[in-house]
Structure 1
Amino acid sequence: MSRHDKQPRYCALFDLDGVIVDTRAAIREALRALACEAGVAIDPDVLDATVLLSPVDALRVLGVSDAHRVYNCDYDEALSLAIGEVRVFDEVVSGMATLAKSGIGLGIVTAQARSRLRYLVPPEVMDLVAVVIAHEDAPAKPAPDGILAACAHLRVPPERTFFIGDRTTDVMAGRAAGVITVGASWGMAGAAALRREGVDVLIAAPDQVGPVVLAQIDSRGGLADR
């Protein structure tokens, strides 16, 4: 029987960008390339700020005409060409492995399109997770649908589910889903914004993912069925 065949008592769901991988440099390079191809003069400060926007909104801010068409036709290729800029948070992956060995079900809930997962999600992470909810599978956060779909797949109720995210919309989605929200301080929004949004648990550094989640489970009665 594989690890994924066993029924977990708890599960931990992870956002992708800013939590497991840092895609900011890759997104920046993809946007820069598309803007240059469109003949747009780029202000580096504006380019840096657009990384936090959706790709379509970022292209509009940069001055790319017909941003929606450019996104649909060219963004995926531009991002795939910038894959060398993606950084994996190895300590988070190690923490995920620790959780999996402890019998905790793992999943990913991301706004990325499923077609991008083959080059954005490290193979070792795909081996650890039992479910991936991508852009096509559920409405975008802060809607709770993606989180609830992952809970249903893992057959773990929301009250025994942790959702680790790095944006305020992750906290909002987790709260709406009724899960335990966990903030990744190293990600996009930062610790202060996550606190203001009322995150349940805040993790200071990537190497604390495993220990913090396990400590939270212990405080709730542990992994054994009661």
Structure 2
Amino acid sequence: MKYAALFDLDGVLADSHHAFLSTIAGFATFHLGRRVTVADLPPHASITPRDGVLAALGATGPLNEEGWDAATATATLTARVFPYVMPVLTELRAAGWATGIVTARTQRRVPWLLGPEVRALIDVIVCSDDAPLKPDPGGVLLALDRLGVSADRAVFVGDMRSDVLAGQAAGAVTVGAGWGFTPPEQLTDAGADLVLNDPGQLTPTLLQWADTGMPTGNRKRS
């Protein structure tokens, strides 16, 4: 009996909140030709699509991906993987769980956040160049297909409303990461089956579900 734990990347596995804001500010500085700092960004910039944030700053037109990559590569040097990640992934794999990531980042950019020691504990990584962006469930479904795990034996851990909606639409149990970009109450309002503020509770919660039966909660079945 195989189970799968899928994770969003930014804000869930990687403490990249400030790095994400720095990426936007750095790119806007490059694009606009004037200094833009994190303090200059509009409210809720960390949970707003990048095009919307850049437009609010006056950066319009096609996005220069090379410029974005340069800003991202520099900013992510300040990001760190959360301390819980290695122990949780190690324990889940020891218990026979498959692990995966579904992220809006591209395959090129994931290694800028995750070192090889973390990637070695991940069985599949689905990025924006592999499947549609969340809340479309395509990325979650692709990850499960590659893992050979059915949605009713899968958990998707995310910190955005789009994560919750994608997991629900795929038929997986959804766990809100209350330590991420979005306040816990907003993840509850989005319909997450469970919201955790302490990532240390992930492993015991998931292993208990595997023993007692996965909750059905707010899941939408196709």
TM-score scaled by length of structure 1: 0.87
- Given candidates 162, 166, 174, the residue that maps to 1:173 is 166
Instruction: Indicate the residue corresponding to 2:33 in structure 1.
Output: 39
Give the direction of change, closer, same or farther, for the CA distance of 1:46–1:69 in structure 2 (3 Å limit): closer
Q: Is the 8 A contact 2:76 2:113 kept in 1?
A: yes
Q: What are the residue-to-residue correspondences of 1:68-79 with 2, within 5 Å? A: 68-70=62-64, 72-79=65-72
* Matched residue count: 212
Counterpart AA for 1:184 = A
**Residue 118 of structure 1 pairs with residue 91 of structure 2:** no
Instruction: Indicate the residue corresponding to 2:133 in structure 1.
Output: 140
1:83-109 deviations in whole A, cap 9, x for unaligned? 222121121331111101111010111
Counterpart AA for 1:58 = V
Instruction: Give 1:14 deviation, angstroms.
Output: 0.7
Q: Quick one: higher RCO (CA 8 Å, sep 6+), 1 or 2?
A: 1
Supply the distance in 1 between the matched residues of 2:40 and 2:63 (Cα, whole angstroms). 24
Instruction: Indicate the residue corresponding to 1:4 in structure 2.
Output: none
Instruction: Give 1:48 deviation, angstroms.
Output: 5.9
Q: What are the residue-to-residue correspondences of 1:1-226 with 2, within 5 Å? A: 9-37=2-30, 38-40=32-34, 42=36, 44=39, 46-47=41-42, 49-66=44-61, 68-70=62-64, 72-220=65-213
Counterpart AA for 1:122 = G
Identity fraction in percent: 35
Please report the RMSD computed on the Cα atoms of aligned residues, expressed in angstroms: 1.8
Supply the distance in 1 between the matched residues of 2:102 and 2:67 (Cα, whole angstroms). 24
Supply the distance in 1 between the matched residues of 2:111 and 2:25 (Cα, whole angstroms). 23
Q: Is the 8 A contact 1:203 1:212 kept in 2?
A: no
Instruction: Give 1:130 deviation, angstroms.
Output: 1.1
Query: Can you give the 5+ residue segments of structure 1 that lack an aligned partner in the other structure?
Result: 1-7, 222-226
Query: Can you give the 5+ residue segments of structure 2 that lack an aligned partner in the other structure?
Result: 215-222
Supply the distance in 2 between the matched residues of 1:45 and 1:215 (Cα, whole angstroms). 45
Supply the distance in 1 between the matched residues of 2:202 and 2:115 (Cα, whole angstroms). 17
SS in structure 2 at match of 1:189: coil
Supply the distance in 2 between the matched residues of 1:124 and 1:96 (Cα, whole angstroms). 11
Supply the distance in 2 between the matched residues of 1:128 and 1:73 (Cα, whole angstroms). 29
Larger % of helix: which? 1
1:26-65 deviations in whole A, cap 9, x for unaligned? 1222222222232346471535632222222222122224
Which has the higher mean CA deviation after the structures are superposed, 78-87 or 13-22? 78-87
TM-score scaled by length of structure 2: 0.88
Supply the distance in 2 between the matched residues of 1:49 and 1:22 (Cα, whole angstroms). 17
Counterpart AA for 1:56 = D
Q: Is the 8 A contact 2:178 2:197 kept in 1?
A: yes
Instruction: Give 1:134 deviation, angstroms.
Output: 0.6
Q: Is the 8 A contact 2:184 2:195 kept in 1?
A: yes
Give the direction of change, closer, same or farther, for the CA distance of 1:65–1:175 in structure 2 (3 Å limit): closer
